[in-house]
Amino acid sequence: MSNQTLFTPYTLGDLTLSNRVVLAPLTRNRAGAGFVPSEFATTYYSQRASAGLLISEATQVSRQGQGYQDTPGIYTPAQIDGWRQVTDAVHAKGGKIFLQLWHVGRVSHVDLQENGAAPVAPSALRAATKVFVNDRFEDVSQPRALETSELPGIVSDFRQAAANAMAAGFDGVEIHGANGYLLDQFLRDSANLRTDAYGGSIENRARLLLEVTAAVVDEIGANRTGVRLSPVSPANGVSSSDPQAQFDYVAEQLDALGVVYLHVVEGATGGPRDVAPFDFGALRQRFKNTYIANNGYDLDLATSQLAEDQADLIAFGRPFIGNPDLVERLKHGAPLSAFNPATLYGGGAAGYIDYPTLAESSVSAS
């Protein structure tokens, strides 16, 4: 099958995407005062609007949900206004964009929490990971276990954040249930030792994710709601003794809720794809709507997976950092530019919006 399959239009719910390339969420730590997206973010996303679908960087649904410095929120009027600048710019270029909704749970630090409070988690277990805070990477703080009575508030925060995202002009939202953050922490039995209705069995550990998803679907519609999962990724110190059973169940329940897509990190986030045994094909069979495949994809792998109907859309993350015109480069088999790892997190325009397109590179070289 031709490579052009990646570049054909695709119908996602009631949206028509110009191609099957997705910009994966990429944390860049460049929000301004009040955790408002900066003017640089408007340029950054509009530069990449040729992707069929853009998914924003992870965006906290509340102050409690923050785990890294200078990440944007979606819970104040100023944040909504800031994101409106981004969505207007993307739409002006014919793009479509979803906002990723995020609560980090235990992957946080007291210096990021209001009044120096402890981060929250399913259980009072400290994660084996670091966060970017005080302009450096530091060990996470000891969390406290959420009371059962607090969980409806978490659900409400996600619901309100989804409503705010639509007010900011997004085409939909992606619920972040991956990478060892709060909703994933509840799913994993390494992080969730609860004995209430949110712990123990596969069904109980999935309860919070499914309640959040149901609330968001009720608020903005299933056609505007996607979910991201990472079944075997050890990101941020999580693991599961039963990943296939756990995530097959989750996929079935998300299918029943009718969400428009499932965005799956296949393997270790940003690492090897074969980190642990898992049948992603079985997961795909349990979810009837759009399946977005993510992790370590290049043109050849994307082409083969689409040809074999193993995915509907392909998400690219880090290749988009140094290549704002990644779609064009892939289409023409052009070389990809490397990104500067020193400017990944924090800073200003440098290493964020100053990577040239292929056309700009050709002009400067002539």
User: Distance (Å, rounded) from C-alpha 9 to C-alpha 333?
Assistant: 19
- Please state the pTM of the whole predicted model: 0.97
Q: In which element (H, E) is residue 209 found?
A: helix 207-220
CATH of the domain spanning 3-365, picked from 3.40.50.300, 3.40.50.9100, 3.20.20.70, 3.90.1010.10: 3.20.20.70
Q: Tens of pLDDT along the chain (366 residues)?
A: 456 699 999 999 999 999 999 999 999 999 999 999 999 999 999 999 999 999 999 999 999 999 999 999 999 999 999 999 999 999 999 999 999 999 999 999 999 999 999 999 999 999 999 999 999 999 999 999 999 999 999 999 999 999 999 999 999 999 999 999 999 999 999 999 999 999 999 999 999 999 999 999 999 999 999 999 999 999 999 999 999 999 999 999 999 999 999 999 998 888 888 888 999 999 999 999 999 999 999 999 999 999 999 999 999 999 999 999 999 999 999 999 999 999 999 999 999 999 999 988 765 554
6: left (phi over 0), alpha (psi -120 to 50) or beta: alpha
Q: Where are the domains of the chain?
A: 3-365
Alpha carbons 60 and 75: distance in angstroms, whole number: 8
Catalytic residues: 181
Q: Measured between alpha carbons, how far is 329 from 308 in angstroms, rounded to an integer?
A: 23
